[in-house]
Amino acid sequence: MVQSQKLAHRPRGRTLPKKHSRLPLLLLVLAIGILVAGAIIVSKAAPPAVTVTHFTARSINAPTGVTSEGYAYKGSPDAPVTVIEYGDFQCPSCAAFATEQEAALDQRYVETGKVRFIYHDFPLPQHNNAVIAAAAARAAGEQGKFWPMHDLLFARQREWSSSSAIQSLLVSYAEAIGLDRQAFEQALTSETFVPALEAARQQSEQRGVQATPTFEVNGRLVDASQLEAAIAAALQASGK
């Protein structure tokens, strides 16, 4: 849980002429040195190359959509239990939940109509790439692929979380899940989502959320270790 804060081979019989000046050789060495230094400078200045790789998104056999407040959900709107995850895409504990527990939760509760699961953004200020990652997920959502991007961001969190080429990586992710690149880039660079993400952060704090991931089960805040028990209790209380 993350809280808010070769050695050279000389051919036989050949030797360097003793009476000739070594100046041409020194100039050659100097020229090579300059070229190497220049290559190093250029390589540091240019962003690293990004390779687009395919990503097979996990299918969700349940309704998906966006709430009236603008948060992505999966599961029936009529489900007796609503689970809200307050998450940060750069949070390691959130990635652990998404990659190790979420598929089982979907299968057991979301796809059976018992739970509607909502992802509520809570980008922490200490995570420099959290906001742009959340914006990437929302931009993917505009093309109906929030959850594939959600899964990809968490699956490859270590790749992008401290990257200096974050935007190029996010575009490669968009292509990997089949998004329209131009539309995605336009949405991502327009900063349209920044005010909504800031509002989401403030709203999370107003609800008493102090760390990620935090879950709200029918109004009750719990952490990941308490989630399954809280869902079971809420289902029992609902008579389902």
Task: Give the pLDDT band (50/70/90) at residue 4.
Answer: low
For residue 28, the model assigns a pLDDT of 40
Q: Does domain 64-238 have CATH number 3.30.1340.30?
A: no
Helix (H) or strand (E) holding 176: helix 166-176
pTM over the 0.85 mark: no
The overall average pLDDT reported for the chain is: 85
Task: Give the pLDDT band (50/70/90) at residue 91.
Answer: very high
134-168 residue pLDDT tens: 999 999 999 999 999 999 999 999 999 999 999 99
* Domain boundaries along the sequence of the chain: 64-238
198-239 residue pLDDT tens: 999 999 999 999 999 999 999 999 999 999 999 999 999 999
Which is nearest to 174 in space by CA: 62, 48, 57?
57
Residues 17, 43: Cα–Cα separation, whole Å: 38
Dump strand ranges (E) for the chain.
2-3, 64-66, 72-74, 81-87, 115-121, 211-212, 214-217, 220-222
Strands of the sheet with 220-222, listed across from one edge: 64-66, 72-74, 115-121, 81-87, 214-217, 220-222
Interhelix angle 166-176/181-189, nearest 10 degrees: 140
For residue 55, the model assigns a pLDDT of 78
Residues 64 and 74: beta-carbon distance below 8 Å: yes
